[in-house]
Chains A and B, each alone.
Chain A
């Protein structure tokens, strides 16, 4: 792996980077979104749809080792040749970390000194570093985060401190058990809502021989207001030349917060949650070119998305977003999506996931462009103000 990063003066800590993986001459540009998966495959996107979305860049996928606890077994996965071969996604980049927001939720009460605990569809599972590493070594993901003891923001100081101790300890265990000799580990950093613990954990992890960092414990109850301070506490301690991944920052504003703090990779179940809820993202992507939030969002709850279940779309023959180049918008109308949702047809989720993924990837592209032209602060400001203006308009009308 090779990672080059070029911070820009007026964009503060926000940075654009290029992540070169393996022998591929095509870098992954950061800040970037890791698409969520179940057992390694995007939930509703088959391989043909996936490649059409990310082309020409390789797709960047998040995978949770916890999803494989019930199978296929590590020996079968290894024998098939790891994730890339098993999923026939040889050109995709996989980044493994245990947590997701749906099927692998950290369960801090049941974690103990032996391992981390997760709420999964198959029940609660305690995972020791050795179990974790057995799955990790079979998956052969391009990058993977060490096992973390993630706790919500409301736990006691004592419990929070313990989670830092355990997470650092488990990082050492993971490094010791790593057959690849630590060439693609992201060291996990926790510390909850305590700035001191955040610093301590970041400093300890930064001392280890890791290729990058996984910042855990966000999106677990802390307020948006306290987040910038916590993020700076962590990122101040990390070397600039290594990539930083975060979990739990989902909404567009939260992503902007993370980018502003200097995060490079985001894993998130946001697209999945939108899709399951019947929502399509519609917020403007060309904000710097003056594109405005639509004022015609009749049901625009928050001005970023529309609910396709709403009866107002019953005879709406327009695409989800005008001029969107995704497969869904090129081929189908809001009326058809509304119908598919009404009759509970799976194609609704497939088509929504295509559009929402396309839209989110476009959002990250806009972010990178804004940083490149030193206008990231302006981009954030216009995004947030544009949205607020829309909300004010719709409230007063």
Chain B
């Protein structure tokens, strides 16, 4: 029994790292965007388009890393479009975000049809635990390099928000547009750049989906992970480090089903697969009532004003 529990926990750890990676990228992208004072609900569309373009590029060029870049590029394009549209007077960022979500997924489905069948090269993985000789641990700890990139990005962002001029300008813009204007900062430009950079991160998250895990392109690939990641930002109270921790939590929840299956528990498989969605609901209910969350929220967000 303890052996089985160890297997389940190991599998959940491996699953948490695997499943959390796209959450990390999308949540970091959204954190950056929201810190600048805008909400981009379109990251679900960015995720799907990034996955499709990344897969197609990897298939056509034979290089998965070029695929990752292509995914990020798709995010930059969608993010810039969102940023520019929201810079127009009296345009609501939430409505634009929903439109961008539909646009991103629509474009991906339209151009992605020819790439559902072919096999594209996958991203490599780094074996961290092969030396232990424990096969379960070895499989669980074959970690994708993008996970480390994501964690590094979170550390850089957390450091940058406190220690760089750009970081402070983004926080200023997100907390008080009047103060940013008084400093001579172009609020719309900062927000557009932040949304584009956020889109880049989310696009990379998409490329991870199609190029590592699950590792293929189809239309049901994302199943709402981009939206969950946006919810996760509120749960993480706009802190990049907490974004990583929250993403790992969501990843672990997503890994419950497969982990239990690996030890032969198949009852309630679909119920366990719904764990991340249930967690999202609980998190939203719990954190929207939380006063700390409200206090940490950037002052310029259209939901807090």
Q: Are A and B subunits of one complex?
A: no
